[in-house]
Amino acid sequence: QQPVQSPQAVILREGEDAVINCSSSKALYSVHWYRQKHGEAPVFLMILLKGGEQKGHEKISASFNEKKQQSSLYLTASQLSYSGTYFCGTESNEKLTFGTGTRLTIIP
């Protein structure tokens, strides 16, 4: 089943913060976060593994609540380059299932 992301869309002014949430009904091994700009491939942001291991970009932070099967991506001091659609991919049984995405628009 597809994870649910919220919000579906958000508009921020440059410098503001945002939180994007991802929730699954399945027990998860890991959560992967990607950003996709229009017409481009998804770009890896972060992976959060069961047990606490994380890998990703230094300027991106995220959390993973294994018990609640939820993850959140924190974008602070947003820049124009942060615009795009953010997808979470939840891993269960070595399969990644992506959510429907959160469209983030940053305005000057």
Partner 1 sequence: DAGVTQSPTHLIKTRGQQVTLRCSPKSGHDTVSWYQQALGQGPQFIFQYYEEEERQRGNFPDRFSGHQFPNYSSELNVNALLLGDSALYLCASSLRRGGLGTDTQYFGPGTRLTVL
- Which residues contribute to the site for partner 1 (CB under 8 A)? 2, 29-30, 32, 34, 40-44, 47, 49-50, 55, 87, 89, 91, 93-101
Nearer Cβ to partner 1 (32/72): 32
CB of 14 to partner 1, least distance (A): 25
CB of 68 to partner 1, least distance (A): 19
CA–CA distance, 85 with 4 (Å, rounded to integer)? 14
CB of 95 to partner 1, least distance (A): 5
Cβ neighbours of residue 104 closer than 8 Å, sequence gap 6 or more: 9, 10, 12, 18, 20, 75, 78, 82, 83, 84, 85, 86
Helix, strand or coil, per DSSP, at residue 81: helix
